[in-house]
Structure 1
């Protein structure tokens, strides 16, 4: 194959073809990605909003794929970015690069099997009889019947079978009647519809593509659970990498409760004698009774009665598994499907029970899993078992035999990549940086404030050394303690990696103000203090609406919305009033409206222009003190002599704060104010670490300064 143009030439051609202009940060990032691919050294790169990071990694990825006749895998955390890549970025980029590459680059999207309609399952779907019929209201089941009927009709016209292409969508209950998970599938060879399988077709398309786009969960299932769902690849790009640990943890979390036990018993009932499935159902009922008598929360020691109930489920599931596996498999496709689905459900119940029981065997300090009971008025009680850390798993399964680029707008917490690198299992950054690279990148995301920035205005002066010192000590503490919590003896096997912050084309200090309401009392536990509601009302009135309110709980968001609707003459939208997508659309279209919501909004709102000129954060988003996983991880760090608060709680809060405050500036013309009502951001020792994790807005603690700026913006028809 003829020598391809270098990545810089391809990037310039792509930018010109797409009508853009060269951005220095984008070019620096593209060069760094190219170097990582060439050297095999992992790259962690923070690229602020407006950098154009998608092009910066896609261009080198495409060049590598085409020059080596291989596939590059790109994973994302959110459906929005996945759609942006597949529906906008890659089609335009492929067309732009085709003249220089002799052919148009090919790309594909690949999702988990559960996202595709299964023709075999559809054939047997009985709209009136979902597996867990007894758990649902009859009216809900009638709706499911109508939805499954529509799915039959849709199956005759869809080309992909991809659930995301079904509009309007259907409920999860209805979709479960026509889809299968990876471990429920009998395989294309055994399935009578194997040649028409939507999931198999998607995998075939991905196998021949230059770039395959998937999600973090699919990556975790494929790489860490050994399913080999992704095509062979030597280069992996993880976009939205700040979400990686949470997504991998979710995939690695097991659950045990009455509903999955009943489902397994019902599936096994078609294949084994009634006595075995009755025993399994009874064990599930016993588990549910003990759940009712137990307090929700983390277990450091499993009570004997509950341990006995879990063991009963384990043994009953094992008996059913043994009976099915000892029988002679029949060739009938329907029987093979029933057998596969029963084994999958039983394995899940059995393995979760085993894992829960085994997690309590080591001494508390040496445990690698945490177990807790979750229950509430709107959720079925379940025992959960999750890993205390996933860094060792990632280091072994993800970083061992491929080059990985991890990128996001938010990776440097407290001015350093160390906290997240430790959670990923990367350890400490390589220090032998070649001289040619020196000075080519912004070394940290924080550091000393620019003239007129937060340090001068007083927001960073908490009497503890300022943001720079807090960032340094907080970052070092986080990497040290997270490292120890993961594997204290791993230094010799650490993957080699480099960090790069290419900055942002936005002038945050001139475009945005970080206002910390230092005069307010610390947030309480009993809803929003009246002084907080007064502060919110004053800010919203000054901005004339145009406000995104990000609250730590749905209760606080609803309280603020109810109060503000009585006090200000602007429309207040609140999460839960309609679908999140529709609410964001209305907020963007109606310039003087406000949108209040909770954590799930923090990363899902992208509203450039005058509709968003004020972001309000009610409190620092630390994990709840009773969060079982976060508290266990924090304690594990402390047990090894580290600062669990900095390594876990402060890192978690810094990441969410950076994501939330990053909603303000979404284009170079945007202007506005970020108002954090929690005074601890200005007064607490950890405040410097948190502030240095945020975009470098100009800072103030004076409410009059913030309101005056909002008045000016509201009066200026050009601003934003």
Structure 2
């Protein structure tokens, strides 16, 4: 843990002196928060002040804080005000990370500048703020001027955009245009942009076009670049190294946790907003893929841009495809089958040979100069391939901490591709050692206390005790990563729920359709469709339908379009922001969809007075990572279902039900069409994770309430 900041009480102080110092700190934070809220034109919220004081105390004491701040609390200002104050007074850099692009924009373009402007007259100096994203999110001037080859026009565009999509959630939403037109526009934009940040280009362009003007950090030629003094990602990193507060995203935290900590500037404080998504984002960033298109791409790039033969690698790729195509989809519970292991090892060895040939001293530029753009692109592709294959053929100890599985899916050409994937069995150790160790962390969200406890969320991010430590807080559970060897005693953290300004029992009803049969394998039963029809008819539309699968959403939307005379929008009909805007603008309209609608949809007012949840959102039984984690817990004597599946479902239920009440005047019904929420032993755990709506299983009560709201 970091040493206490100068604001903390020194050793030897009396309890009275310590209390006086804490009271002074709390008073200063309250006053600064009042100033910031006043500039925004808002009103005082007790929960926001409670949160701000708790964050300030955590930053002074070095104790990690998990703070649940319900909708309407104003949690952004609740952590930004004490964080900015601490950064300036203690001269300690703060990194703020968000999960979604929308919240990142809000923090960077509205909340943080407002706080900086409002607090500047009351601080020793004006705070400096900066934005930091992944390298690929910035335009490369050297590539624009021809310093790199054009991207491979073959298999490259069939590869998944896993890392890029994680860092840029809005990728691919540009207006239709030819690749050439988009690239011409990008080249013109390069002459006028001050940031090179993809998000500053409005309207945007497709991923394929953006690749023509950007490079990854591995492809960057670094100090050899003739545009180094003008480099946009270097400028962003230089600004971050001088900033008091740096805003980034969970994808960057995932990169840092996965072994590249220097992607972030040195910092003493980490604030994680939307912290309920952190573990999943780190898992996604740490997941690697191996397939024939991936191998073919690396071999082709090595040959075209690196000038080395790729025939051995291509042959190894064909052998790999021959080994994995006959495999069934699913997890390898006992490691890769021998034939597949040998095929992956052959890919690894062929990639290692190419890496030797691609080293500058083995065939690089004359005089040992740094590699040019083409060779760096080749090195990056082959190195990524080598590291993936090496990871899949690692030591027994490494493989015991890895989940591997086979999956099939369509590439961008519509062809079916068989893939091998590998993910960490657990990421709590990575988060603890790479992100939390040596600094103070504040993790916040509207949903952190699952089943009424912070323990599940704390364990997911590595906040647990050493097995031999004195149990002064939540203890380790079977299946969780142990504390790192360099830990020095109990992990100091606390959880705080500051509540919500909304009166959930008076503003909302949670209706559980206990009379319905438990959901089965079919996407939607006739009884469910009849229930949906009755609820939507009573509500007069204004319904957000949250479904556990695309098939279920499609079936419900198709049926309601036939049965009802209100507009029914379906996820996939248009871009999601467009659909949400249409839903919010027309009161009778309904919007049905899947996971993307469970989180982040913010539609206050009469446009959303009914939220339908078709079933408890347990993970699929064949989810490879979660099933592996549940198996580990069960083998250790724990309850794998409760530790993994029920916790996952509780989080999504809390998020989904939270779509109903978004403002102090909102009223409505959350209807759960899964009777297990009322009848199963785990139902109460799930219900306690949801907003504290008034609960009922009486269908007539729910219909009557919706009818009154419709007619009011």
Supply the distance in 1 between the matched residues of 2:40 and 2:484 (Cα, whole angstroms). Answer: 49
- Alignment correspondent of 2:212: 177
Residue deviations 1:640-694 (CA, integer Å, cap 9, x gap):
1111000000000000110000111111111110000011101111101100111
Return the match for 2:482 from 481, 487, 490: 487
- Alignment correspondent of 1:415: 452
Supply the distance in 1 between the matched residues of 2:96 and 2:684 (Cα, whole angstroms). Answer: 34
- Alignment correspondent of 1:369: 402
1:336 aligns with 2:372: yes
1:317 aligns with 2:346: no
Kept after mapping to 2: 8 A contact 1:584/1:605: yes
| Aligned partner of residue 404 in structure 1, secondary structure | strand
Kept after mapping to 1: 8 A contact 2:329/2:408: yes
Kept after mapping to 2: 8 A contact 1:192/1:333: no
- Alignment correspondent of 1:230: 264
1:492, CA displacement in angstroms?
6.3
1:362, CA displacement in angstroms?
4.8
Return the match for 1:121 from 143, 152, 156: 143
Where in structure 2 are the equivalents of 1:92-107 lying within 5 Å? 92-101=114-123, 103-107=125-129
1:158, CA displacement in angstroms?
1.7
1:21 aligns with 2:46: no
Supply the distance in 1 between the matched residues of 2:645 and 2:489 (Cα, whole angstroms). Answer: 27
- Alignment correspondent of 1:549: 545
Supply the distance in 2 between the matched residues of 1:623 and 1:241 (Cα, whole angstroms). Answer: 19
1:218 aligns with 2:252: yes
Kept after mapping to 2: 8 A contact 1:127/1:149: no
Supply the distance in 2 between the matched residues of 1:573 and 1:298 (Cα, whole angstroms). Answer: 36
- Alignment correspondent of 1:299: 332
Supply the distance in 2 between the matched residues of 1:605 and 1:353 (Cα, whole angstroms). Answer: 39
1:498, CA displacement in angstroms?
0.8
**TM-score normalised by length of structure 1:** 0.87
Kept after mapping to 1: 8 A contact 2:519/2:615: yes
Moved over 6 A (4+): 1-5, 125-128, 331-334, 429-433, 488-492
Call closer, same or farther: CA 1:174–1:370 in 2, change over 3 Å: same
- Alignment correspondent of 2:384: 348
Residue deviations 1:26-61 (CA, integer Å, cap 9, x gap):
111111101111110111110100111111110011
1:573 aligns with 2:569: yes
- Alignment correspondent of 2:299: 265
1:285, CA displacement in angstroms?
2.1
Call closer, same or farther: CA 1:102–1:49 in 2, change over 3 Å: same
Supply the distance in 2 between the matched residues of 1:191 and 1:488 (Cα, whole angstroms). Answer: 42
1:336, CA displacement in angstroms?
2.3
1:398 aligns with 2:420: no
1:386 aligns with 2:423: yes
- Alignment correspondent of 2:187: 152
Kept after mapping to 2: 8 A contact 1:369/1:387: yes
1:431, CA displacement in angstroms?
8.2
Supply the distance in 1 between the matched residues of 2:306 and 2:133 (Cα, whole angstroms). Answer: 34
Call closer, same or farther: CA 1:132–1:484 in 2, change over 3 Å: closer
1:228, CA displacement in angstroms?
1.0
1:380, CA displacement in angstroms?
3.1
Residue deviations 1:521-573 (CA, integer Å, cap 9, x gap):
11111210011011011111111111100000111111111110011111001
1:503, CA displacement in angstroms?
0.7
- Alignment correspondent of 1:81: 103
Supply the distance in 1 between the matched residues of 2:157 and 2:479 (Cα, whole angstroms). Answer: 47
Kept after mapping to 2: 8 A contact 1:128/1:141: no
Gaps of 5+ in 2: 1-5, 8-23, 160-174
Residue deviations 1:351-380 (CA, integer Å, cap 9, x gap):
111111226x359xx811010111124563
| Aligned partner of residue 486 in structure 1, secondary structure | coil
Return the match for 1:563 from 529, 550, 559: 559
| Aligned partner of residue 707 in structure 1, secondary structure | helix
Call closer, same or farther: CA 1:11–1:128 in 2, change over 3 Å: closer
Which deviates further from its counterpart, 88-97 or 411-420?
88-97
1:88, CA displacement in angstroms?
1.4
Which deviates further from its counterpart, 38-47 or 276-285?
276-285
Which deviates further from its counterpart, 159-168 or 559-568?
159-168
1:254, CA displacement in angstroms?
1.3
Kept after mapping to 1: 8 A contact 2:258/2:285: no
1:493, CA displacement in angstroms?
4.1
Return the match for 2:323 from 283, 290, 314: 290
Residue deviations 1:434-485 (CA, integer Å, cap 9, x gap):
xxxxxxxxxxxxxxxxxxxxxxxxxxxxxxxxxxxxxxxxxx9xx754x543
Gaps of 5+ in 1: 434-475
Supply the distance in 2 between the matched residues of 1:398 and 1:485 (Cα, whole angstroms). Answer: 17
Residue deviations 1:557-598 (CA, integer Å, cap 9, x gap):
111111100111110011000000110111111111000010
- Alignment correspondent of 1:281: 314
Kept after mapping to 2: 8 A contact 1:133/1:141: no
1:200 aligns with 2:223: no
- Alignment correspondent of 2:84: 62
Kept after mapping to 2: 8 A contact 1:485/1:640: no
Residue deviations 1:298-331 (CA, integer Å, cap 9, x gap):
1123222212211111111011012222515426
Call closer, same or farther: CA 1:271–1:184 in 2, change over 3 Å: closer
1:291, CA displacement in angstroms?
2.9
- Alignment correspondent of 1:655: 651
1:143 aligns with 2:165: no
Call closer, same or farther: CA 1:181–1:127 in 2, change over 3 Å: closer
Kept after mapping to 2: 8 A contact 1:612/1:664: yes
1:338, CA displacement in angstroms?
2.2
Return the match for 1:669 from 629, 654, 665: 665
- Alignment correspondent of 1:527: 523
Kept after mapping to 2: 8 A contact 1:128/1:145: no
Which deviates further from its counterpart, 652-661 or 12-21?
12-21
Q: Over aligned residues, Cα RMSD in angstroms?
A: 2.6
| Aligned partner of residue 358 in structure 1, secondary structure | coil
Supply the distance in 2 between the matched residues of 1:601 and 1:333 (Cα, whole angstroms). Answer: 51
Call closer, same or farther: CA 1:74–1:393 in 2, change over 3 Å: same
Which deviates further from its counterpart, 503-512 or 14-23?
14-23
Kept after mapping to 2: 8 A contact 1:238/1:406: yes
Supply the distance in 2 between the matched residues of 1:300 and 1:172 (Cα, whole angstroms). Answer: 35
Supply the distance in 1 between the matched residues of 2:176 and 2:656 (Cα, whole angstroms). Answer: 39
1:604, CA displacement in angstroms?
2.3
**TM-score normalised by length of structure 2:** 0.88
1:628, CA displacement in angstroms?
0.8
